[in-house]
């Protein structure tokens, strides 16, 4: 493995994150947010602040062994300069899988994987090489299909260096800066490639935000299409639906709240308003991945971890939720969009998807929307994949795609 440093440079959880944020923005001083330790690997520790660089500039690049479940591809990792939600420089990482013998400037797909976690070891740049079956990436088959089509695939760690689970806008910025970095790496030969975006659920949030931010944040990128499914587009509405009864996936909800506190420490004070049981749960989740988050938080509830009873009383933190809700973001994607969801999805506010797409359509965007014939969130993911892949293939070929508006 060669390293070269360069100078210059689950959806229910998201709704609960907004709910916790809504009650913890102006509480008393107390325990500070807990951040996970960075990996010991020095590749993750290079500080973007030390480089006089612009977003997307490369901090480090290295070859990696091809992951065991990936066929016919070379693997790379790039650390790069990005920007957090306060506008400060951060270092982020993306993993690149390139087909062996690919043509220069062939298609480049940025795939935003679902990451339900608070630890950096749970991110794709780690899990693609893990031997732990609980952490192994599940999309290897789809990645191999993309690679067989000659597509280079970039997979960003879109939660950022602090694993800020729930911070959707941050995910969009990291995604776009990751594309910039990949195209600035001459070794990868994608400087002039057409680019597409794809992701579902939490990965769909990062994808949707990248698509909406691109015209203003990264207008130079040639993004020819974005396929996003099951996207939570309104955190405020999702917060209104959170109850106070014990729930089997409460751990994911609490983890997302902690992730938002990490990203907005000056506006959200969750840790300062926790019960002893809440602090103990927080400490147990500090660097946890999905399975441990579910185990530690199973059967938990808001009254167990905090004395707060109302979920939507604090305007300061509600503003944070709104800042991470695509329904309220005025930007409109300037590339064709393929969007899919279940019309009866109980985990996300479907009316917010409809309203957001209607606004895009009114602004002249090219949108193709699919309602899958299934009642739930996860089966919808599978049922929309075929049409999403067809959409991406056509966009890379420069072909027109159907539109519902």
DSSP assignment of 101-117 equals TPPTT--EEEEE-----
**Residue 220: which domain range?**
3-235+322-396
Report if residue 122 sits inside a domain: yes
The structure's pTM equals 0.92
Structure token pair of residue 188: 């990868």
Quote the pLDDT of residue 314: 58
pLDDT the model gives residue 309? 56
Q: Are 34 and 278 in contact (CB under 8 A)?
A: no
Task: State how many domains the chain has.
Answer: 1
Is 364 contained in some domain? yes
- Listing DSSP states for 213-259 in one string gives HHHHH-TTS-EEEEEEES----HHHHHHT--SS-BTTHHHHHHHHHH
Q: Say whether 362 sits in a helix, a strand or coil.
A: helix
Residue 392, domain member (yes or no): yes
Name beta bridge partners: 154.
96, 110
Whether residue 270 is contained in a domain is answered as no
* Each residue's pLDDT expressed in tens, for the chain with a length of 405 residues: 434 433 332 444 454 455 555 545 544 445 778 899 888 899 998 876 676 689 999 999 999 999 999 999 999 999 999 999 999 999 999 999 999 999 999 999 999 999 999 999 999 999 999 888 777 777 888 999 999 999 999 999 999 999 999 999 999 999 999 999 999 999 999 999 999 999 999 999 999 999 999 999 999 999 999 999 999 999 878 766 555 678 888 888 888 889 999 999 999 888 888 999 999 999 999 999 999 999 999 998 888 888 875 444 556 678 898 999 999 999 999 999 999 999 998 888 899 999 999 999 999 999 999 999 988 888 999 999 999 999 999 999 999 999 999
Instruction: Look up residue 216 and give its two tokens.
Output: 């203003």
pLDDT at site 242: 57
Residue 363 bridge partners (DSSP): none
How many Cβ atoms sit within 10 Å of the Cβ of residue 359?
Answer: 15
Distance CA 338, CA 370 (A): 8
pLDDT of residue 9: 29
For the sheet containing 73-83, what is the strand order?
A: 3-5, 58-64, 73-83, 89-99, 152-156, 108-112, 195-200, 223-229, 337-341, 367-371
C-alpha 145/C-alpha 300 separation (Å) is 40
CATH of the domain at 131: 3.40.50.1820
Q: What's the farthest any 2 CA atoms get from each other in the chain?
A: 59
Asked, for residue 66, whether it belongs to a domain, the answer is yes
Distance CA 332, CA 354 (A): 14
- Judge whether 316 lies within some domain: no
The verdict on residue 352 lying in a domain is yes
């Amino acid at each position: 493995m060669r390293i070269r440093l360069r100078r210059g440079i689950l959806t229910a959880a998201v709704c609960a994150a907004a709910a916790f944020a809504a009650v913890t923005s102006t509480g008393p001083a107390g325990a500070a947010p807990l951040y996970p330790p960075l990996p010991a690997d020095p590749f993750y520790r290079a500080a973007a602040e030390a480089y006089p660089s612009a977003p997307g500039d490369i901090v480090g690049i290295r070859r990696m062994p091809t992951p065991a479940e990936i066929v016919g591809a070379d693997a790379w990792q790039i650390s790069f300069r990005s920007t957090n939600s306060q506008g400060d420089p951060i270092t982020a990482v993306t993993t690149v899988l390139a087909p062996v013998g690919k043509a220069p400037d062939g298609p480049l797909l940025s795939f935003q994987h679902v990451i339900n976690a608070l630890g950096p070891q749970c991110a794709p740049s780690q899990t693609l090489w893990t031997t732990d079956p609980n952490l192994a990436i599940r999309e290897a088959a789809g990645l191999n299909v993309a690679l067989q089509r000659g597509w280079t695939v970039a997979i960003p760690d879109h939660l950022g260096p602090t694993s800020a689970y729930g911070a959707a806008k941050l995910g969009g910025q990291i995604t776009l800066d990751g594309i910039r970095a990949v195209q600035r790496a001459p070794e990868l030969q994608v400087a002039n490639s057409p680019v597409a975006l794809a992701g579902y659920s939490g990965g769909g949030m990062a994808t949707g935000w990248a698509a909406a931010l691109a015209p203003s944040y990264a207008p130079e990128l040639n993004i020819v299409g974005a396929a996003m499914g099951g996207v939570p587009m309104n955190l405020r509405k999702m917060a209104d639906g959170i109850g106070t009864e014990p729930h089997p996936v409460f751990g994911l909800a609490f983890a997302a709240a902690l992730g938002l506190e990490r990203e907005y420490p000056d506006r959200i004070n969750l840790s300062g308003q926790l019960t002893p049981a809440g602090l103990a749960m927080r400490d147990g989740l500090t660097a946890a991945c999905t399975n441990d988050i579910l185990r530690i938080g199973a059967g938990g509830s808001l009254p167990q971890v905090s004395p707060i009873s109302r979920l939507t009383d604090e305007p300061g933190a509600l503003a944070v939720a709104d800042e991470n809700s695509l329904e309220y973001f005025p930007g409109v994607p300037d590339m064709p969009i393929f969007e899919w969801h279940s019309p009866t999805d109980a985990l996300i506010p479907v009316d917010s998807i409809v309203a957001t797409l209607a606004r895009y359509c009114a602004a002249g965007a090219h949108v193709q929307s699919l309602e899958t014939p299934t009642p739930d969130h996860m089966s919808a993911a599978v049922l929309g994949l075929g049409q999403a892949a067809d959409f991406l293939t056509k966009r890379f070929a420069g072909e027109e795609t159907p539109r519902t508006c």
